[in-house]
Structure formats: structure tokens, C-alpha cells
Structure 1
Amino acid sequence: MSNSPSTEPQPSYVKLAMRNMVRKGATSLKHFALTAVGLLALLVGLAYLTH
């Protein structure tokens, strides 16, 4: 990162993440699905154990 002021505003992390998701495509969606399923399984497991 350079300290010199630039005329363009720096892109936000959200925009960078969206651009990265579009570039990665299927891999990103697969990782997102795996994360979602893992979190859901964790929550269901905890609910079952604490029931």
C-alpha cells in the first residue's frame, strides 16, 4: 500500500469480496454451501444435546 493520495477512492472490502466471488465462481459457492451446512449441523447438534 502506498501512502500517496490517489484520485480514486479505494474499493471497499465488500466490493473486493464480491469481485473475488465472481472470479472464483463455483469454488466460492461450494465453500459457502459447506459452511452453511456445517453451521446448520452445529446448531442442530447443540439444540439436540441441550434439549
Structure 2
Amino acid sequence: MTETTSVTDSATEQASLEQAATEPKPSYVKLAMRNMVRKGGKAIYHFTLTTIGVLGFFVLVAWLTH
């Protein structure tokens, strides 16, 4: 029984390796988009915090150099 299982596992591994070798690597942007969709609201929250922080920094610099 284990011999049949190992032969099946070996065939599955080889098929997945062949498929991985023929597929191009996903781009950084595609991986980032997939990650953002998977994380859901957390990505939107961090994007909002970053935007507010950058805008606050610009306002502070404009006020200090006025």
C-alpha cells in the first residue's frame, strides 16, 4: 500500500514541478494585489494611515516653512 502511495505522490510532485517550470513567476504587483485582497480591511486601514501620515507631514513642513 505504501508503495502505491509513494508512486502516486511522486507523480503528483513531478506534475506540479513541470507546471511550475512552465508557468512564469507572478509579478510583484500581482502578488501584492493578491495579498491585499486576502488581508481585506487591514490593507485599507494601513493605506489610510499612511496617506494621513504623509499629508500631515506635508502640512507640517508647509506650516514650519511659512
Give me the TM-score of the superposition, normalised by structure 2: 0.69
1:6 CA drift (Å): 1.2
Q: Percent identity?
A: 62
1:50 CA drift (Å): 0.6
Q: Computing the radius of gyration over CA atoms, which structure comes out larger, 1 or 2?
A: 2
2:26 pairs with 1:7: no
1:41 CA drift (Å): 0.1
1:40 CA drift (Å): 0.3
Residue 35 of structure 1 aligns with an amino acid whose one-letter code is T
Cα distance in structure 1, aligned partners of 2:24 and 2:65:
49
Give me the TM-score of the superposition, normalised by structure 1: 0.88
Cα distance in structure 1, aligned partners of 2:41 and 2:50:
14
Residue 26 of structure 2 aligns with an amino acid whose one-letter code is P
User: Whose helix fraction is larger, Structure 1's or Structure 2's?
Assistant: 2
Instruction: Map Cα deviations across residues 22-51 of structure 1 (whole Å, 9 max, x no partner).
Output: 000100000000000000000000011011
Relative contact order: is structure 1 or structure 2 higher (C-alpha 8 Å, sep ≥ 6)? Answer: 1
1:10 CA drift (Å): 0.2
Unmatched runs of 5 consecutive residues or more in structure 1: none
2:43 pairs with 1:50: no
Question: What is the aligned length?
Answer: 47
Structure 1 moving runs of 4+ over 3 Å: none
Alpha-carbon RMSD = 1.2
